[in-house]
Structure 1
Amino acid sequence: MMKKMKLVILLSLIIVVSAFGKGKGWIDLFNGGNLDGWVQKNGEATYWVDHGAIVGKTAKGSPNSFLCTEKEYGDFVLEFEVKLYDNELNSGVQIRSTTKEPEGDELVGRVNGPQVEIEASGENGAESGYLYGEACGGWMTPEKDRVPHKAFKDGEWNSYKIVAKGARIQTWVNGKMISDLVDNKKYKSHPKGFIGLQVHGVGDRGPFRVAWKNLRIKEMN
């Protein structure tokens, strides 16, 4: 009996240690209850918390809006889930972004930096997971590599993983690798910055909604 009890205790300890190890180094960016640690930049979209998710809704006539972390990050692994409630709305998540233009002052105050695309697949596939330079040069992923795909599941929650290490940025959508890009120029201009949740401007259309949950990050040395 004692041997069985010791075995049960040992197995329990192994399970606990294993679970702890899996979560080691991860930091939740969103507490599930309010927007503490986040600040809105640009635009007039509305952000709020609903059932453990951050929801963003478009505002007519508004430019792109961004809900941004107060803290900046350089090299990291970022994971989150995202859902487009309206396929007409495309979105994105900013990484290593800033409101300061490194080569002038004409864009000071405007969010700029690498963005990981969020877009409904539709019938023909789309560009979810590819990299775009928001207010800093346009597409980072070369046109020849931006092959439309259907890894993004329309109307459902989709898991994203982003690994940014030096000039290399890798992305996955629902477990499928989408992009493996090395961009030394962009790394030189944007080596670190905030994470930002984009609600894209839609002119007079809408309102449209997008939501994010389970946002967590692991910084790398």
Structure 2
Amino acid sequence: MNLKRTFKPLILVLIAIIGLQSCKEKKEDKPQQEMAAATTEQDGFVQIFDGKTLDNWEGDPNYWRVENGNLVGEVTPTTLLKNNTFIIWKGGQPADFELKLEFRIAEAGNSGINYRSERIDTIPFALRGYQADIDGKIRYTGQNYEEKKRATLAYRGEKARITSQENPDTPGSLRANVAKNAWQSREVLESLGDSDELKTKIKSEDWNEAHLIIKGNKLQHYINGILMSEVIDDDTVNRASKGHLGVQVHVGPPMKVEYRNIKLKNL
């Protein structure tokens, strides 16, 4: 018997098996963060907060920091605010987009996600524009509130259409058209659910997921997968089509808010 002829095929088979096993082990050992990155690329979302630094974000370091992988905004008894302050993403001014993130806020907290906003030159780190409202007592979370502009556009549970005031040329008419902290040229088109019932879907002092879908003049705010408010903005005088993105800490008592897994997809 020729042993060389017999063992040569066996050796080749063994080499092939070892090679396949090695490839399998490498695939199984692939770090979880690499797998997550691949998923992010496939669904079009990009992480815009790295969980380690404030790179590509701009805000007052007295109020903003990174802690345990989270973006933290905190007001203490010694750093009480005179004006609302934001940490602002420096990566662009999104127009049509989806934003996903998770937030957790203390009961005394007041915050929000601003988008399509403009910076206010006279106040450091201030934004004026659309806001997905967030608060610790869950009075306003989910509504659409326009910071320093038209005030409430849609309360939680509302799909509302916004129009211009009758005489936009009247001096001071923007504020004159706001009453009881809401824009008066608004029509509720339909109910998305009872506000108090929707409130029960939002967790107190625990992590919640916010999902904003902003396209054209339709602005949708979801919390934990549930549509909380929708605005159809037909106010051609005051609406914005693009702008800055940022998150807020609000004037008031000491508070803490945390954000994580901040992901953006341009549409």
- Tell me which residue corresponds to 1:135: 148
Q: Which runs of 5+ in 1 are unaligned?
A: none
- Alpha-carbon distance change, 192 to 49 in structure 1, aligned in 2, over 3 angstroms: same
1:30 equivalenced with 2:49 (yes/no): yes
Alignment of 1:48-197 (within 5 A): 48-58=65-75, 59-70=79-90, 71-84=92-105, 86-99=106-119, 110-121=126-137, 126-141=139-154, 145=158, 147-148=195-196, 149-185=199-235, 189-197=239-247
Query: Does structure 2 conserve the Cα–Cα contact (< 8 Å) formed by 1:160 and 1:171?
Result: yes
**1:129 maps to amino acid:** G
Paired residue secondary structure (1:213): strand
Instruction: Provide the identity percentage.
Output: 25
Give the superposition deviation at 1:64: 0.4
**2:234 maps to amino acid:** N
Q: TM-score, normalised by structure 2?
A: 0.65
Q: How many residues align?
A: 198
- Alpha-carbon distance change, 33 to 187 in structure 1, aligned in 2, over 3 angstroms: farther
Q: Which runs of 5+ in 2 are unaligned?
A: 1-15, 28-33, 159-193
Query: Does structure 1 conserve the Cα–Cα contact (< 8 Å) formed by 2:64 and 2:71?
Result: yes
Query: Does structure 1 conserve the Cα–Cα contact (< 8 Å) formed by 2:47 and 2:261?
Result: yes
Give the superposition deviation at 1:193: 0.9
Q: Deviations over 1:132-170 (max 9, x none)?
A: 000111001158838242222011111010000000011
Q: TM-score, normalised by structure 1?
A: 0.77
Q: Deviations over 1:101-158 (max 9, x none)?
A: xxxx99898410000011235xxx5221110000111001158838242222011111
Q: Which moved more, 1:110-119 or 1:187-196?
A: 187-196
Query: Does structure 1 conserve the Cα–Cα contact (< 8 Å) formed by 2:111 and 2:134?
Result: yes
CA distance in 2, matches of 1:32, 1:144: 32
Alignment of 1:210-221 (within 5 A): 210-220=257-267
Query: Does structure 1 conserve the Cα–Cα contact (< 8 Å) formed by 2:142 and 2:156?
Result: no
1:209 equivalenced with 2:256 (yes/no): yes
**2:131 maps to amino acid:** Q
Paired residue secondary structure (2:235): helix
Q: Deviations over 1:50-81 (max 9, x none)?
A: 01110001231431010011121010010000
Question: Whose radius of gyration is greater, 1 or 2?
Answer: 2
CA distance in 2, matches of 1:168, 1:153: 26
Decide which of 63, 70, 81 is 1:46's aligned counterpart: 63
RMSD: 3.3
Q: Deviations over 1:153-207 (max 9, x none)?
A: 01111101000000001111111111122112279631111111100111xx32x
Alignment of 1:10-21 (within 5 A): 20=38
